[in-house]
Amino acid sequence: MADAETKASGAVSGWGIMGKRIEADRTPYRVVTEGGQGELVEKKSRFIATVKPVTTEEEALSFIEETKKKYWDARHNCSAFVIGGRAELTRCSDDGEPSGTAGRPMLEVLLGEGLRNAAVVVTRYFGGVLLGTGGLVRAYSGAVREALRSCRTGTMRFGTRLLIGTDYTGAGKIQYLMGQRGISAEKIDYSDRVSIQVLLRQEDLEVFRKEVTECTSGRAVMEELEQLFYIEPDK
């Protein structure tokens, strides 16, 4: 079994709204939000790739073991995973295939797609025909790409939850502005005044606040509720 590993600390964990934990590195990165499966057949060998979002090494190893138990009768269950926004932890395994022909190509697909906090296992049912080094690399990496097509992904970002209070005239202007900028309201409350809650990318905050002030002639009241990591779904 070939095995490669790199470790460091500081992985961001979890799904969706990440709460108030503030990391030093706020660089956006892509994550898998919903796993998937893909399959290809190469010279009678069947390759089944299963992708799952993970946030810790323990979760990744547990997923790999579960998949191996599910496909206990397969010839190989090769694996790879990457944890952390800067890929602080990566690991791959060829599980009996020639060194460098399975796990490493699988890991390179994840890294090449810019994905973090993801694990993949490719299960091979041997078809009786040897594929050679190049054939194995193409098959294992191709199976991962097939699985990724069925996954949902997003971008982990750092942002601010903003609460805007305004009158009904101002609310209409703010909602028009939001539509122009592609910003959706998390929540809108109507009473004697209107409260609009939005989640903004940190880099967009100051410009948006300025535009809200301008379009309401300074009558809107804004409060920054919290700073947080969150996942913005890919379109």
Q: Specify the fold of 3-150.
A: Ribosomal Protein S5; domain 2 (3.30.230)
pLDDT tens string 121-133: 999 999 888 899 9
Query: What is the rounded CA–CA span in Å between residue 95 and residue 2?
Result: 7
Closest CA to 231 of 6, 33, 24: 33
User: Does the predicted model carry a pTM greater than 0.85?
Assistant: no
In degrees rounded to 5, what are phi and psi of residue 175? -65, -35
206 Cβ contact list (under 8 Å, min separation 6): none
pLDDT tens string 174-211: 999 999 999 999 999 999 999 999 999 999 999 999 99
pLDDT tens string 37-93: 999 999 999 999 999 999 999 999 999 999 999 999 999 999 999 999 899 999 999
Give CA separation, 73 vs 38, 70, 184, in Å.
19, 8, 48
What angle do the packed helices 132-149 and 103-112 form, to 10 degrees? 40
Domain boundaries, the chain: 3-150, 157-233
Residue 106 burial by Cβ neighbours in a 10 Å radius (0-12, 13-18, 19+):
buried
Q: 157-233: which CATH architecture?
A: 2-Layer Sandwich (3.30)
**Average pLDDT of the chain, as a whole number:** 89
